[in-house]
Chain A
Amino acid sequence: MIYAIGVENDPTLAHFVRGAVHAGAEVRVVGLRALAAGEWRLTIPDDGESVARAGPEEVALDPDGAFFCRLIDLSVAMDAAATPRWAAMLTALSAWLSEAPGLVVNRPGPGGHNSSKPLHEHLLAAAGLRVPPSVTSSDGERLRAFADAEPAVVKAVSGVRAHARRVRPEEFDGFDPLAGPVHLQRLVEGHDARVHVVGDEVHGLEIRATGLDYRRDMADAAFAPWPVPDELARTLVAATRDLGLAFAGWDFKLAPGGEAWCLEANPMPGYDPYDRRLGSAITGALLRLMTGDRERRGDDGLRDRASAAVG
């Protein structure tokens, strides 16, 4: 049994469910909006009676099943009265899923450093990936010096999604530290690549666009399958596993010299736009992983790694 848990109008969740149903997999969907208004009972360690009632249907949760999870905190967009219930629901699901013996794609927690880009980039470099140098500071002189030395882009320090843009050194003249911090990263010229790792499978796409950040208008970008070099593929599979993740979306810049510069690893990748361009290869890999035998899936090892990554 595959359980798909997430917000009802999340296009990535909907894409996964469509793909799973199309492939004939047995899927039960737990919509978070409906669940927040519904009922749940989750016990650790599981007592065989864990259930979620999202809408009219009660879903019995088998902890040995496979879970595709996209737990998104919408409480900031809710009125104050609804916030505690949403928070309690996410706390309950996160705790139960972190202990479930089945395969959870992905367990809550691991990859959390994606919300602190300097730490995230340091850890990716330590995992053996080529990562562009960066500086994070509220010191205008330091930021100006970095932008002055070589072309640089500015990004959000935290996990908030924001488009990268090129910066000019003079933007930091008279910089008010109260406007900081700012995260600058060395600009890498070249095309983009997106690589999805699912267990030990690797699926790459090369993306050619005119702008700095192709996500601004994906319709104008040209996508083509990218055969990920073997050594890089091995590094990504190992790094994904060591992060405690079963599934990750890796972003790269491919420099004209052929070097692949890693920009980030997404622990909850919105993979659907890439999957459509890969003929649903990523969904296929997810389904193979989630319906495979436990030894191949490596559930226990992943749970231990996830726990170690959190602890």
Chain B
Amino acid sequence: MSAARVDPSLLLVGDDGDPVVAGLAELARAGGRAVTVAPPARAARMFSVACDGARATVEPAVPMLLRAARPRADPRDEQARFHADELAATLWAAGALSPAPVVNRPGPNGWAGGLSASAAVTERRAGVDEGRAETFATAPPGDGGWWVEDAGTRRVAVSPDAPGPGPFRMRPAAAWEGYELVAVVGDRAWRSTALDLGGLRLEPRSVAACRALGLQFAAVTWGIEPRAAGAAVARIDAFPTAEQLRPCWPDVARALLALLTP
């Protein structure tokens, strides 16, 4: 069998059982589209990338939603790790160079736009930096009032409690009354609640942040100050979960299809 002969009108790349991929595939098929759902390893083998001078050709030039990037591999198996790296490198190039729509399109230096493991770095790149410090340390803070995340378990506590043995990532605790999640697809955005948040304009601010990060599809979580006096970005996910998208899924799914198959 030849690996490069599959030519669907839409390719959804995700791990088995990803409900976002399953839901989008169902909607696309209902609309009469030929959809292929593939985990990253199989997707990578579908592509051929030819480079000749500054001209790159990607075949098949198929619209693609990238929900997962790197094939899973046993970290102790060197050969399996190498093969996973080779597959990920190919999918990265195909996604970055394809002339077809790709969401989220990988950039020259990575998969998830300007997102960083550091919230402070992400906020600066997204243009939503409000000067909140972030500290990485092996010891927990000596005083109270910090959000503290354990690097190993990802558990979070408010100091003086410690969520684990560390190392830690810490930020000053903010006086947020609650959270609002905004799903972004291209230049459209949907809040997850109908609460009256005054003039916070979270939808356009979310779209602007994602654009600055090079993301077309993301979930932006905002921390909301008491009486909706203000809001600040709490986190940004480039691979939103089905749970995050549930309140606005029909709108999100239609917008994704429109973006991928204009």
Contact = CB atoms under 8 A, between A and B. Distances in A.
Contacts of B49: 118, 135-137
**Chain B interface helix/strand/loop/mixed:** mixed
B120 A95 contact: yes
A126 B54 contact: yes
A294 B169 CA distance: 31
Contact of B109 (A42, A43, A109): A109
B96 to A, nearest CB: 5
Nearest to B117: A91
Interface string B41-70: 000111111111110100000000000000
A40 B85 contact: no
Interface string B180-221: 000000000000000000000000000000001110000000
B85 A118 contact: no
Contact of A113 (B108, B124, B136): B108
B4 A41 contact: no
A92 B139 CA distance: 13
Contact of A139 (B3, B52, B75, B97): B3
A87 interface: yes
A104 interface: no
B85 A159 contact: yes
A110 interface: yes
Contact of A119 (B47, B97, B139): B97
Contacts of B166: 88
Contacts of A41: 135-139
A137 B3 CA distance: 8
Contacts of A181: 44-45, 47, 86-87, 90
Contacts of A88: 136, 151-152, 166-167, 169
A140 interface: yes
B92 A116 contact: yes
A48 B238 CA distance: 33
B48 A142 contact: yes
Contacts of A219: none
A119 B92 contact: yes
A141 B121 contact: no
A76 B108 CA distance: 24
Contacts of A42: 135-137
Contacts of A43: 133-136
B114 A122 contact: no
B89 interface: yes
Interface in A39-95: 39-45, 47, 76, 84-85, 87-89, 91-92, 94-95
A307 interface: yes
B1 interface: yes
Given A88-B151, A139-B2, A142-B4, A157 B136 contact: no
B91 to A, nearest CB: 9
Interface string A126-167: 100001011111111110000000000000111110000000
Contacts of B133: 43-45, 47
B116 interface: yes
A16 interface: no
Nearest to B118: A95
B162 interface: no
B11 interface: no
Nearest to A162: B82
Contacts of A39: 137-139
A125 B51 CA distance: 9
Contact of B167 (A89, A99, A126, A142): A89
Given A99-B121, A139-B5, 13 more contacts: A39-B137, A40-B167, A89-B167, A94-B117, A94-B118, A95-B134, A98-B116, A118-B51, A136-B47, A142-B48, A157-B90, A181-B47, A309-B109
Interchain residue pairs A-B with the least CB separation, the first 4: A92-B136, A177-B3, A311-B114, A95-B118
20 contacts: A38-B138, A42-B135, A43-B136, A44-B118, A44-B135, A76-B75, A98-B116, A116-B92, A122-B54, A126-B54, A133-B51, A133-B52, A133-B53, A139-B2, A140-B2, A160-B82, A181-B87, A309-B109, A311-B113, A311-B212
